[in-house]
Amino acid sequence: MVGITSYGAYIPIYRLSRADISKSWGGPALHGEKAVANFDEDSITLSVAAARDCMNGIDPKTIDSLYFASTSSPYKEKQAAATISAVLDMKSEIFSMDISQSLRAGTNAIAAAMDSINSNSAKNALVCAADIRLGLPNGPRELAYGDGAAAFTLGSENIIATIDGRYSISDEIIDVWRSDKDTYLRSWEDRFIKEKGYNKIVFEAVSGALKKYNLGPKHFSKAVFYSPDSRAVGSVARKLGFDTKTQVQDIMYDTVGNTGAALAPMLLVGALEEAKPGDRLLLASYGDGCDVFILTVTPEIENIQAKNKRGIKVHLKSKKMLTSYEKYLRWRDIISVEPAPRPPLQVPSAVALWRDRKGGLALYGSKCKNCGLPQYPAQRICIKCQAKDEFEDYCFANRKAILFTFSHDNLAPAIDPPVTLCVVNFDGGGRIQCDMTDREIKEVKVDMPVEMTFRKIRYVGGIYDYWWKCMPPRE
Amino acid sequence: MESIKDKVAIIGMGCTKFGENWDMDSKDMVIEAAYEAYEDAGIDPKDIQAAWMGTYMSGYTGAMIAEPLKLMYKPVTRVENMCATGSEALRNASYAVAAGVYDVVLAIGFEKLKDNGYSGLPDSEVVAEWFMGKPDTYRLPTFSTPAQFALMANRYFAKYGIDPEEGRELLAKIAVKNHHNGTLSPKAHFQREITIEQALKAPMVAYPLGLYDCCGVSDGAAAAIVTRADMASSFRDDPIYIKSLEIAQGPREGALNSEWGYTNMEETYRAGIAAYKEAGITNQRKEISIAEVHDCFSITEMTIYEDLQFSPRGKAKEDIEAGSFALDGELPINTDGGLKCFGHPLGASGLRMMYEVYKQLQEKAGPRQVKNPSLGLSHNIGGVPGSGVCSLIIAGN
C-alpha cells in the first residue's frame, strides 16, 4: 500500500490586488488578488518552504527519493532537487529528480514517487511542487498567475491518505507554452484551448478513471481539479456530475491565483487540511494530458492535522498587500530602474559555494563541546573558550530566534530598498548577521521574534546564490 | 617587555586639504603631504632612510610613494588595516626607529576615493566578505558601512532605554559639535555650521543614522617624519614624543559570540586600557588634553566616549548634553572636525588625527587651539562593530 504520509504548503506573504494591475493599464477594477513571491524567492526557495512545512517533525535522513516539480526551475541545466536535498539536510544516497516543462509536473512527481515506493526502491519519498510563472504585463496570464508551492511525503507506513487508483492521459496540443527562448507564457486562442484542451482532456481522464475503478461522483467527498482560470473548473466538474458547491475544492483564484504545476498539489493540501477519516478524494491535474488520482483518507490524518503546520490555511491568512504594481514589475525584473551608485555585485566562487554547502545551504554552524556556545559559521577554535577542534555540528535552521539589533539601510544596493540588516540571536545561543525579508518597516523592533527562511540572495554570473534570511514568523 | 614610551618623536608633519580633490591625483597629494612634512622637520628629502606607506584601496606596493617622491631604491613598506591604515604606517615606522635600525623615517598615508563615481565608499563586496566570515560565497547580509554602525545605535538605545528620537537628537549634537570645529579647520572637507534640526531632517542613510551622522568620503594624504627621541631636539625645539602605540585586533567576536552586546567596540576598550598603561595614565579624562577619535559615524563617537573611559558606561548622554567634549569643554574631542568634517580618506585618516594632535601639542592650532595641552590621543579604527581593529596612539610635548 502507498499513500501520502504528510503534507505542507507555502504561499508567499505578498499579495497583489488585480485591481491595482488592471487600473494601472486604464482598465476596470478587477476583483481578487494574486500571491506574489518576494524578489528573493524562486521555485527552489518556495519548494524548501513547503517542504519544511511538510517535514516538520520528520527526520530528513529517512527520505530516500526526492522529486522537484516546476515549470519555472531557476536553471535550465542543473538539478534543483539536489539543491533542495542539501538545504533540507537529507542524506546523499537518495534518488533526486527534477520534473519540469509541463503544468502536470506536480502530479507527474506524485506518480513517480508512488512508483518508487511500490517498486521498493524507496521507503519514503518527498515531492515538492512550486511555480512562479510570468505572463506579459497587461495580459490575462499576468492577472491569472500566482505563486505558491506544496510538498508531500509518500510512504507505505503511517499513511494519512492511501492512493488507491491512478489514471493518466497524454495529449499533444499547443495550448499554453513557453519555448526555450521565451520569458513569458504564450497561449493559443482561448476557445480552442478550452474546447480541445482542458475541458476535453480532463473530462476524458476523470471519466476514464471513474470507469476503471468503477466509481461515480457520489463516492467522493471532495474533487480537486487544476483550473486555468476562475471558470473552467466549474464546467468540467458539472459535466462530470460533481456538485460544484459542495464537492469541488475551491481553486483559490481570488486569493492566490493559478500557481501552475503547484496548483493541484496545493489544492490537495487544502482538501487534506479539512478531510476526515474515510473521505474519498479525487485529484486531477492538467497539462499535455491529465493525471487522475483516487485517494482515501485514513484515521492518521488527525495526527497530521494536529501538528503545527502553516499549510494552506495559515499561509492564506498571513498576508501583506503589495503597495504597488510597479513594485511587482521591479521584483520580476520586468522594468529596469536606476541602479544604486555602488560597485557591481561580485560573482561567487563555485569552489567556495561547494565548501559551504552544509554551512550555507543547511545552515549548520558548530557548538563548542567545551563551553557549549553555538557559533555560525562553523569554527575550529572557539570564540569564547579558545578550545581547538572540540566542536559538534549544530543546525540553526529551525531554531527560534530574536532580533538583537537592526538597521534599515538605504545605501546598500537592493531590489526592494531599504535593506533591513539584522543581528539575530538564537535561543540556546549562537548569532547570525543576515537580511530580514517579508517585513514591513514599521513592525521591525529590537527583541522581536524572528525565524530563518531560505532565500535567493543574488544572481550574478549565471549563478543563483542561496542563503538564509530572517523574517517575522508567519501566523 | 619594554614600552615605546619616549623612545621616538615626531619632528615634522604634513597634511593636504581633505575633500573632493578633483584637481589632484594620489601622487599630487603624496607629494604635498610629504614635502610639508620635510619642510616642517627641516630635512632634505634625501635624509629619509626608510618609509612606511598606508593605503586601503588606492594602490599596491611602496611604488605608490617611491615613484612620486623619487625615493631612490630605499626600503618602503606598504601597510593596510582598512580605515586604521594611517596609524599603522606611523606605528611600524616608530618601531623601526625604536629598534635602532633607522634614525629618520617617513610615515605616510593617502587615499583617492572620489575618482570612482560612487556614493559612499567604493570598496567592493570582496572586502566586506573577508570580515563577514565566508569568503567568496557572498553568503552575507546586504549592507553598507553606515548600517553596520547603525546596528550599534539601535541596540544602544534599546539597552539604555533611550527613545530612538531622543537618541537621534543626542547623535545630532555630536555632528553639530564636529561641524563647528570643522569651520575652524582650513584643511577640512566640510567647513560649515549645522543645526540639530538640519541634522534630524536630513535624508536617512541607514536608520537611525541620517546624512549628518556619517563622515565625509574624501581624498587626502598626511605624513609624519619620525626620529629617535634623543635626536629629536636637534631638529626642532618642540618635537612631539610618542607615549604609547597600541593596536587591538578583534577576532570577530561580535559576529560569532551571541553574548557580545553590540553597544560598544571591544577593540577600542582594550586598546585604550593598553595605551593608558603604556603611557602611565591613570585618569584619562583629566590627563588627556585633546583627543582625536574615529567618528566615522556619530554613534561611533558616542560609544568611544565610553570605551575610552571618558564617560561611564551608559552615561555618554550626560556628557553630550553637558558639552564636555566641545572645544571649550573639559576634554575637547575632534577639535579639527573629526572624520565627520575634516573628512575620511581612509589610509590618511590616522595620520591626519596625529597631525591635529601634533599641532595642538605645539600650540599651533590657530582658532581651535586648546589651552595648555600636554597629552593628545588619536584613536583610529578599521572594520565594523563586532569585527574591527583599533589603533591608539598617545603623544606628549
Which residue spans within A309-390 are E strands per DSSP? 320-321, 364-368, 374-375
Write down the CATH number for the domain with range B8-118+221-232: 3.40.47.10
Q: Is the pLDDT of residue B126 over 70?
A: no
Q: Is the pLDDT of residue A112 over 90?
A: yes
Report the mean per-residue pLDDT for chain A: 97
Q: How confident is the model at residue B132 (pLDDT cuts 50, 70, 90)?
A: confident
- Percentage of chain A beyond pLDDT 70 is 100
CATH fold, domain A3-331, is: Peroxisomal Thiolase; Chain A, domain 1 (3.40.47)
Both ends of chain B: CA-CA distance in Å? 24
- Percentage of chain B beyond pLDDT 70 is 99
C-beta atoms of A435 and B252 within 8 A: no
C-beta atoms of A412 and B143 within 8 A: yes
Average pLDDT rounded to a whole number, residues B196-210 = 98
Give the closest residue to A352 by CA, choosing from B88, B137, B209: B137
What count of CB pairs under 8 Å joins A to B?
A: 162
How far does B259 lie from chain A, in Å, by closest CA? 8
How far does B36 lie from chain A, in Å, by closest CA? 34
Q: How far apart are CA A204 and CA A169, in angstroms?
A: 8
C-beta atoms of B143 and A384 within 8 A: no
Cell of B113: 576615493
Contacts of B127 in chain A (CB under 8 A): none
Look at strands A364-368 and A391-395 and give their pairing.
antiparallel
C-beta atoms of B150 and A383 within 8 A: no
- Are B15 and B36 in contact, with CB atoms under 8 Å apart? yes
Q: Is the pLDDT of residue B225 over 70?
A: yes
Q: How far apart are CA B312 and CA B361, in angstroms?
A: 27
- Which residue bears the cell 562593530? B385
How far does A325 lie from chain B, in Å, by closest CA? 25
pLDDT digits (tens, 9 = 90+) for A407-443: 999 998 899 999 999 999 999 999 999 999 999 999 9
Q: Where along chain A do the CATH 3.40.47.10 domains lie?
A: 3-331
Contacts of B137 in chain A (CB under 8 A): 348-349, 352-353, 356, 360, 465, 467
Residue of B nearest to A409 (CA): B206
Contacts of B386 in chain A (CB under 8 A): 423
pLDDT digits (tens, 9 = 90+) for B160-186: 999 999 999 999 999 999 999 999 999
ipTM of the complex: 0.95
Q: Choosing from B83, B214, B341, B390, which is the catalytic residue?
A: B83
Q: How far apart are CA A55 and CA A8, in angstroms?
A: 8
pLDDT digits (tens, 9 = 90+) for B314-332: 999 999 999 999 999 999 9
> Sheet of A391-395: strands edge to edge?
A374-375, A364-368, A391-395
Q: How confident is the model at residue A111 (pLDDT cuts 50, 70, 90)?
A: very high
Q: How far apart are CA A264 and CA A227, in angstroms?
A: 8
Average pLDDT rounded to a whole number, residues A259-278 = 98
Give the mutation candidate from B145, B152, B256, B300 for the A interface (greatest A CB count, under 10 A).
Answer: B256
State residue B122's pLDDT score.
76
Give the closest residue to B109 by CA, choosing from B18, B184, B181, B183: B18
Average pLDDT rounded to a whole number, residues A122-145 = 97
Q: How far apart are CA B46 and CA B69, in angstroms?
A: 10
pLDDT digits (tens, 9 = 90+) for B45-70: 999 999 999 999 999 999 999 999 99
Q: For chain A, how long is the longest CA-to-CA vector?
A: 72
For chain B, give every domain's residue range: 8-118+221-232, 140-214+242-396
State residue A21's pLDDT score.
97
C-beta atoms of B142 and A435 within 8 A: yes
- Are B195 and B172 in contact, with CB atoms under 8 Å apart? no
Cell of A341: 551608485
Residues B119, B121, B127, B133, CA torsion sign: negative
Contacts of B135 in chain A (CB under 8 A): 352
- Are B44 and B62 in contact, with CB atoms under 8 Å apart? no
C-beta atoms of B262 and A423 within 8 A: yes
How far does A407 lie from chain B, in Å, by closest CA? 5
- Are A114 and A166 in contact, with CB atoms under 8 Å apart? yes
Nearest to B155 among A405, A430, A458 (CB): A405
Nearest to A412 among B144, B253, B258 (CB): B144
Residue of A nearest to B260 (CA): A431
Contacts of B266 in chain A (CB under 8 A): none
Contacts of A349 in chain B (CB under 8 A): 136-137
State residue A301's pLDDT score.
98
Residue of A nearest to B161 (CA): A446
Residue of A nearest to B261 (CA): A404
Nearest to B141 among A349, A373, A421 (CB): A421
State residue B131's pLDDT score.
67
Residue of B nearest to A431 (CA): B258
Q: Is the pLDDT of residue B121 over 90?
A: no
C-beta atoms of B256 and A376 within 8 A: yes
For A467, half-sphere exposure in the C-beta direction (CA atoms, 13 angstrom radius) is 27
Q: Is the pLDDT of residue A10 over 80?
A: yes
Q: Which residues contact B278 (CB under 8 A, 6 or more apart)?
A: B3, B4, B5, B243, B244, B245, B246, B394
Residue of A nearest to B143 (CA): A412
CA angle A389, A390, A392 (to 5 degrees): 105
Range B140-214+242-396: architecture per CATH = 3-Layer(aba) Sandwich (3.40)
State residue A150's pLDDT score.
98
Nearest to B206 among A345, A409, A467 (CB): A409
Q: Is the pLDDT of residue B124 over 80?
A: no
Q: What is the pTM of this model?
A: 0.96
Contacts of B139 in chain A (CB under 8 A): 348, 356, 360, 457, 465, 467
State residue B133's pLDDT score.
73
Q: Choosing from B179, B189, B294, B344, which is the catalytic residue?
A: B344
Q: Is the pLDDT of residue A344 over 90?
A: no
- Are A424 and A446 in contact, with CB atoms under 8 Å apart? no
Report the mean per-residue pLDDT for chain B: 96
C-beta atoms of B142 and A375 within 8 A: no
Q: How confident is the model at residue A342 (pLDDT cuts 50, 70, 90)?
A: confident
Residue of A nearest to B154 (CA): A405
Average pLDDT rounded to a whole number, residues A37-58 = 97
Element (H, E) at B224: strand B220-228
Q: How confident is the model at residue A364 (pLDDT cuts 50, 70, 90)?
A: very high
Instruction: Based on the residue annotation, tell me whether B83 is a catalytic residue of this protein.
Output: yes
C-beta atoms of B139 and A467 within 8 A: yes
Q: How confident is the model at residue A260 (pLDDT cuts 50, 70, 90)?
A: very high
Contacts of A419 in chain B (CB under 8 A): 141-143, 147
- Are A176 and A15 in contact, with CB atoms under 8 Å apart? no
C-beta atoms of B147 and A412 within 8 A: yes
Average pLDDT rounded to a whole number, residues A65-90 = 98
A27-66 burial: b if 16+ Cβ within 10 Å, else e: eeeeebbbbbbbbbbbbbbbbbbbbbbbbeebebeebbbb
Give the mutation candidate from A405, A441, A463, A465 for the B interface (greatest B CB count, under 10 A).
Answer: A405
Contacts of A394 in chain B (CB under 8 A): none
